[in-house]
Amino acid sequence: MKDFNVRDQVARAAVELFAEKGYANTSVQEVVERAGVTKGAMYHYFRSKDDLLFGIYERMLSLQKEHLDEIVGRGLPTADTLRAVCVDVMETSIDFLPEGTVFFRSVHMLAPERQQEVTRRRRDYNDTFAAIITRGQAEGLYRTDIPTAVLVANFFSDVHYLSNWYSVSGKESKTQVSEQITDLFLKGIAT
């Protein structure tokens, strides 16, 4: 068994159990049993249950930030950049729907320093997202009668609400849903 498979097995087992039973009601022993690994193998990758919870969300945060930086780095026109970023964050959120669901239900249970790290990383992402909107406002593309922070919050409320209604087995694909929500958002902020 390759090392990366052990890490993935443990993370997947943790997501499944945290979703089924809740973070507080799941023991490390249950995670390793579900993953089919030893506690020693788990502790090689995750020092604690807190590490497991943080790791679940950290992977999604890192991927979305990497995508954001790559999209911004393309140097596309502002409207194209914002559209690509919106579609990407929706699609990756759908790809990581179970992880996001578990995390948003349990983030308050992270150790304070981990909560601060998540807040810092989310703020960094949001600041870059807001800067794209601000640039578009300066270019006359987006409305200025509503504070940028409200526009950003409006979009991300749709992202965070996905787990309450989206189903992978539904009629629309993740790309269709991502494009539809993005179109609604962009029409709402257009001048």
Spans of all domains in the chain: 1-46, 49-189
pLDDT tens-digit readout, 48-106: 999 999 988 888 899 999 999 999 999 999 999 999 999 999 999 999 998 888 888 89
Predicted TM-score of the model (pTM):
0.89
**Are 78 and 141 in contact, with CB atoms under 8 Å apart?**
yes
Nearest to 82 by CA among 141, 166, 124, 159: 141
- Report, as an integer, the average pLDDT of 139-165: 94
Task: Say how many CA atoms lie within 13 Å of 166 toward its Cβ.
Answer: 26
Q: What is the CATH number of domain 49-189?
A: 1.10.357.10
Name the class of domain 1-46.
mainly alpha
